[in-house]
Structure 1
Amino acid sequence: MKKINVAVAGLGRIGKIHLKNLCRNFSDVQVVAVMDLLDESKTIADQFNIPVFVKDFDQLLAVPELDAVVICSPTDTHADYVVKAANAGKQIFCEKPLDLSLDRVKQVLETVKGAGVKLMLGFNRRFDPEFKKIRQLVLDDAVGDVQIVKITSRDPGPPPVSYVKVSGGMFLDMTIHDFDMARYISGKAVKEVYAKGAVMVDPEIGKVGDVDTAIITLTFEDGSMAVIDNCRKAVYGYDQRLEVFGSKGMAQAENNFPNNHKLYTKDGISGDLPLNFFLERYDASYNQEMAEFIDALVSGGEVPVDGNDGLLSIAIGLAAKKSMVENRPVTLTEIL
């Protein structure tokens, strides 16, 4: 069987993860080219024996017999790169968000639709084994009618302020994963968003107009709810927990740990802290999401996370920002 020729654009943290997985874990994939603006990234390409290294996206798309491109470059390049890839007839995997402007996202999705290519968005948490199990329990009616979804997502430390300035803010950078998870786990559409935010970790984040701590309440179309709590700094590590409460019971996904030992002494009970950050916590999910993207290319089926999922998550994020600023619930119809 002919291998799928894939190129990777952007060799930052996420790009390196995808490149490693593509090269090591998929026998039906050939990574034929990589693109990055930094000269030192060629060393990474050489480590994986990638034949073509370029600094320009147009040059990447010009690589002969290229089937698909994995876009891991900075957020402000995503929309332009997706449009170029779609117009070139390439299948596309793109890290979130597609863009920070809803109108721009809509334009990009129209281009993708017109080109007839696949576009998958990188909401990797859907592919975490623990979270997939919770979703399956919901589908199996194990918890009954879903009434409350609770998501805790706290980072071990805040990002640099230079990153915060261009990230789109906490809701479009960090909480966007949780907005997608709330929709995915519940299987429901969000109707209304109410957000409260504060600066409790780093005053410099507040100076650039963002928050580092927040609680967001989502109301679904049937009146059920989700509660999301975020903080940019949890001193004990990367805190990622999920709970679904329903008419028949409750399902929970707890934090992952390096090991599950506990030490019991007269002074108390101790054990390891949670896995330190997303690279460790979601290692398996990054590989699984790429596996499902490749499977969609091979089978011709639908991708599991499409452009509309990205659009709705951005819309919820913008509604959260508006809610926080105006101190009121915001319906999604006001945004979309």
Structure 2
Amino acid sequence: MTDQPVRAAIVGLGRWGENLTTAPTSALRFTHATTRSTGKAQDFCRKQELTLLLSFDEVLACNQIEAVVLATPHSQHGEQIRHAAAARKHVFVEKPLALHLDDAQEATAAAQRAGIHLCVGFNRRFLPAFQRLEVGAGALGRLLHVEGAFSGSFGYQYTDQMWRGDTSENPAGGMAAMGIHILDLMIALLGPVRRVSTISRHVAVPSQLQDVTSVMLDFTCGATGSLSTLMSTANFWRLHVFGANGWAQMPDQTSLITATLDGHLHREDFAPCDSLAAELDAFAHQIRTGQPYPVSLRQALDGVAAMEAIAISAENGGRWTDVVTASSR
């Protein structure tokens, strides 16, 4: 069975759920689907040859399904993971794992008790430029500081009636949609965050969302960082890591520039990759072969803890807020 694609159901067929379903995977095959608005999904499911089920419970009861892929509102993730674990279904969940650390810890504990694989969808981990940066980070010497930005115009598309336009589902503006990707890459390079200070404001978008967010980060390793994410401007991406021996920068998602202390610059450009297919295939490979998924559950929990602190700091006008991690509780 190791050479057979993992049979999966997509749960949630909004824009991102459809993107995941149509990603050109080789190790995972979507066979079933369920979503809140089944009527709207019928044509899509017919084209993709998906069996449309009426509820998540039906998905969990189906013996043909080995794994579920959750593209659902953030607040539902923890409960859905726990139910899937009880049904012995492997779970791929879109970021964030949960909005609150307690919920995320309960979900991961349920997955571990059930012996199922749980993976979180941080597709930017699969960018070749980031993978090269991660491998070569040691050459930068002690890491001192990191800066990152991920912005776009998504906020103009959301209304208060949509869950993506709801502040309870999206605290601190664009953090859950975009900024969390940069935060995850920072954690991959520097480890957990110790405390944060956040300014987040509603300025331009039609919904109630705070569309301009800026975060200062203090990492446990001693490095500092800054992160910005806007939902009301043109698309923008940057990740810049500074070390005692030089720096490395991704000015976009397909390039890497490095600099040494003597001023030597080196630029490398990478072919675009389908990071959605890559993350789903990595999930399937972990199920079939035990190959480790690049994002550990510890890192995912560290990200939830930092996100929760970022939201609290934003509510308190930027006050420095300690990140309460799983190990400190």
TM-score clears 0.5: yes
2:175 pairs with 1:175:
no
- The one-letter code of the counterpart of 2:112 is K
Query: Is the 1:91–1:119 Cα contact (8 Å) retained in structure 2?
Result: yes
- The one-letter code of the counterpart of 1:42 is Q
Q: What SS is found at the alignment partner of 2:7?
A: strand
RMSD: 2.4
After TM superposition, the score normalised by the length of structure 1 is 0.81
Equivalent residue number for residue 250 of structure 2: 253
| Offset of residue 157 of structure 1 | 4.2
CA distance in 2, matches of 1:113, 1:33: 25
| Offset of residue 225 of structure 1 | 1.0
Equivalent residue number for residue 279 of structure 2: 289
2:22 pairs with 1:20:
yes
CA distance in 2, matches of 1:121, 1:145: 28
| Offset of residue 112 of structure 1 | 1.1
2:151 pairs with 1:154:
yes
Equivalent residue number for residue 310 of structure 2: 320
CA distance in 1, matches of 2:310, 2:4: 46
Q: Which runs of structure 2 are paired with 1:39-188 in the superposition (5 Å)? A: 39-50=39-50, 52-138=51-137, 141-158=138-155, 159-162=157-160, 163-165=164-166, 166-169=168-171, 170=173, 171-184=175-188, 186-188=189-191
Deviations 1:224-251 (A, max 9, x none): 11111221122xx310111111111111
Percent identity between matched residues is: 23
Query: Is the 1:118–1:303 Cα contact (8 Å) retained in structure 2?
Result: no
Q: What SS is found at the alignment partner of 1:167?
A: coil
| Offset of residue 200 of structure 1 | 3.1
CA distance in 2, matches of 1:83, 1:302: 21
CA distance 1:150–1:93, shift in 2 (3 Å): same
CA distance in 2, matches of 1:157, 1:173: 9
1:10 corresponds, among 8, 12, 28, to 12
Indicate the larger mover: 54-63 or 301-310.
301-310
CA distance in 2, matches of 1:2, 1:136: 31
| Offset of residue 2 of structure 1 | 3.6
Q: How many residues align?
A: 300
| Offset of residue 201 of structure 1 | 2.4
Query: Is the 2:100–2:305 Cα contact (8 Å) retained in structure 1?
Result: no
CA distance 1:56–1:305, shift in 2 (3 Å): same
Equivalent residue number for residue 193 of structure 2: 190
Structure 1 unpaired stretches of 5+: 258-281
- The one-letter code of the counterpart of 1:200 is V
CA distance in 1, matches of 2:120, 2:132: 21
CA distance in 2, matches of 1:116, 1:320: 32
Query: Is the 2:28–2:281 Cα contact (8 Å) retained in structure 1?
Result: no
Structure 2 unpaired stretches of 5+: 255-271
CA distance 1:161–1:314, shift in 2 (3 Å): farther
Query: Is the 2:150–2:230 Cα contact (8 Å) retained in structure 1?
Result: yes
Query: Is the 2:95–2:176 Cα contact (8 Å) retained in structure 1?
Result: no
Query: Is the 2:190–2:223 Cα contact (8 Å) retained in structure 1?
Result: no
Query: Is the 2:28–2:280 Cα contact (8 Å) retained in structure 1?
Result: no
1:329 corresponds, among 313, 320, 324, to 320
After TM superposition, the score normalised by the length of structure 2 is 0.83
| Offset of residue 133 of structure 1 | 2.2
